[in-house]
Chains A and B, each alone.
Chain A
Amino acid sequence: MLVNGLAIGMLYVLIVLGMDMILRGTRILNFAHGQVYMLGAYAFYFTYLVFHLHFVLALILSGLAMLALGALSYLGVFGFVQRRFTPGTPFSYRLLMSAMASVGLMMILQQGTLLGFGTKERGIPSIFPQLLTFGSVRLPLERLFIVLISLLLCLFLYLLFFKTKLGKAMRAVSFDAEVCSLLGINTFWVYLLSFGIGCALAGIAGAIVAPVFSVSPDMGHGIITAALLVMMVGGIGSYKGALVGGLVIGLLSSFGFQFLGQLSQVLLFVFVIVFLIFRPGGILGEAHD
């Protein structure tokens, strides 16, 4: 049960990290993120089950596929939307335009998947069906795997942000994009990659989860609500907050569901709102606005 909570928590962390990356990097609130998660699961389904590739390869391909999807979306849609903004455009207007564009994409992706793949839930046999047994404690290996991969990705992101030139550029751009373009940083590529990597994260999250939950078109909806909830608790745009918030919410929902069933949802929300009254910035505060 604990591991389950951890797994769900890390899952949320991945998704929210992706959204945060997109938000901080490109100032876009990506409502289509849930659909990217779902498509990552589908990609895994196809590469693993249909094409019979090794699961690691399938994972990587799913991630890459979603990276491509993200990059294409930015190229085709968001890039144009953002190019129109002048320094004088109010922030609310920019936010709305890009958020609405993402909503449109969400609808297209959602319905497209429904039409293309049908409503049938597809199951994937568990890759690690074993249980580790420590005395009386039984840990499902599958969930541990999720946690492990998530941690690996977090490590990868950390290295990316703090050790590579690209990472530094991304951080700089998220701080002040105008100055960066004056300094010669190619902001377009930074935006493109921020969006792409953010989507890749969601895609991988979907892929590793695919064997655990079944792959269906509904996956996107619930996850985005959870992701936004986590963002609220952890602080909008804060990476550390995503980590902490994701784990907190993941553990809470896992335990809550165990004990309270459906009602746990409502209580969770109420808890968040009450929490916000006392700490409007979330656990670690708003990274920037």
Chain B
Amino acid sequence: MRLTISWRTSGKLAGLLLVLAVLVLLPLVIRSPYLIHLLIMTFIGVVLGMTFSMLFSTGLITLGAAAFYAIGAYTSALLTLNAGLSFWLALPLATLMAGVIALLLGSIIVRNPGVAFVVITFIFNAVVVEAAGGLRQLGGWGGILGIPRPDPIPLPFYGPVEFITKTPYYYLMLALLLLIMLVFYALYNSRIGRAWRAIKLSPALAETLGINLYRYRLLAFVIASSAAGVAGSFYAHYFQSIIPEAFGGWTSIYIQLYSVLGGLDFYLLGPAIGAAIMTFLPEFLRVAKEIEPLITGALLVMIILFFPGGILGTLRQFPRLGPASLSARLGEIKNWLLSGRNLR
């Protein structure tokens, strides 16, 4: 567990740039819209997972990430449908709304870390879903339909980019994801991130060192929830319809799962890997809808029991699998082939 995140080897940076390049070029190669859709859902999942991670980096466990996802989605939907605003204006406004509500709620509940926080965020999530379903103005249980697509973006040489196929949505969400990741990364590497992790490891000690627990926790809560709002706004205009059930407690639990699966200590890559696996795995397993939660539950228990560090955490324990040693290993194999001697 490091207080500062640093590139361990330049290989790591290269690896990530490679993945980025692949992601950028992917839609040009892949023809299947379904695959693009899965990737888009993964991107959304990563953002939401990072929400949970940011709060966990402060020692707070939230079961209400989906609530702010919902707030972003509903605000954006209503602003475009009822107020006739463009998506490009609705997005920042929805984010702001999520942030403001997080500020109001957070200022009250952040004082009670621990079990109280988990329970309150869980209840808040339930409240939001109930309100969305119960109030006709918010669409009721049938939800809101017919949410407009984002307005076309005029690009200099290309002409206007219209949001009709999935591809423009893909790039938009990817851009949003990267932006959020960069912001989060900068935060984690700063004095703020260090304060967060100090609070997580030992709140009493952190306080003695002059760290204002309340302020830093609230900051994390507001920033994380705003990010969830961004994802929500995008989601509303991508699916063009939203129903309250999509934002329920289950979703929040899955969001937690992304972080746990990927690795709780990895605030950016953990949710990325976790979201990717949880989004794609059901596709590969092709299991019936009934069995899926059973497998997910069993998977969860297995992870907690045997791989509490998540995927990345477990890999970290085996330095022989890291990228740096991988190239070292390849070097060894090359030498062995050339000299005919035993591999050590």
Contact = CB atoms under 8 A, between A and B. Distances in A.
Given A111-B294, A280-B111, A289-B114, A266 B130 contact: yes
Interface stretch (A157-165, A181-189, A228-236): A228-236
Given A111-B293, A266-B131, A286-B116, A104 B301 contact: yes
A114 B296 CA distance: 15
A108 B298 contact: yes
Contact of B297 (A111, A229, A237, A286): A111
A107 B115 contact: no
A28 to B, nearest CB: 10
B269 interface: no
Interface in A88-114: 90-93, 95-97, 99-101, 103-108, 110-112, 114
B182 interface: no
A90 B56 CA distance: 11
Contacts of A84: 308
B134 A265 contact: yes
A118 B112 CA distance: 41
B305 interface: yes
Given A92-B56, A99-B118, A280 B297 contact: no
B189 interface: no
B256 to A, nearest CB: 7
B118 A106 contact: no
A172 interface: no
A112 B294 contact: yes
A80 B126 CA distance: 31
B293 A232 contact: no
Contact of B119 (A77, A81, A236): A236
Interface SS, A side: helix
B59 interface: yes
Contacts of B56: 92, 96
Interface in B87-142: 108-109, 111-116, 118-120, 122-124, 126-127, 130-131, 134-135
Contacts of B119: 29, 228, 231-232, 236
A112 B308 CA distance: 24
Given A104-B297, A236-B116, A228 B123 contact: yes
Given A81-B304, A107-B293, A90 B200 contact: yes
Contacts of A92: 56, 59-61, 113-114, 200
B3 to A, nearest CB: 14
Given A92-B56, A95-B61, A272-B123, A108 B301 contact: yes
A211 B308 CA distance: 42
B155 interface: no
Given A228-B119, A232-B120, A266-B134, A95 B300 contact: no
B253 interface: yes
A106 B63 CA distance: 15
A115 B114 contact: no
Nearest to A265: B130
A91 B294 contact: no
A114 B61 contact: no
A280 B308 contact: no
A276 to B, nearest CB: 7
Contacts of A96: 56, 61, 256, 260, 264
A136 interface: no
Contacts of B330: none
Contacts of B126: 225, 269
A133 interface: no
B291 interface: yes
A263 interface: yes
A112 B122 CA distance: 24
A133 B27 CA distance: 73
A272 B260 CA distance: 30
B302 to A, nearest CB: 8
A280 B114 CA distance: 13
Contacts of A108: 294, 297-298, 301
B305 A91 contact: no
B283 interface: no
A134 to B, nearest CB: 37
A95 B59 CA distance: 10
B297 A100 contact: no
Interface of A: 23, 29, 77, 80-81, 84, 90-93, 95-97, 99-101, 103-108, 110-112, 114-115, 225, 228-229, 231-232, 236-237, 262-263, 265-266, 269-270, 272-273, 276-277, 280, 286, 289
20 contacts: A77-B305, A90-B59, A91-B59, A91-B114, A92-B60, A92-B114, A96-B61, A100-B257, A101-B305, A107-B293, A107-B296, A111-B293, A115-B291, A228-B119, A228-B122, A236-B116, A262-B134, A265-B130, A266-B130, A272-B123
Ranked nearest first, the 3 interchain pairs of A and B with the lowest CB-CB distance are A107-B297, A104-B300, A104-B301
Given A107-B294, A111-B291, A225-B249, 6 more contacts: A23-B115, A228-B122, A272-B123, A276-B109, A277-B108, A289-B115
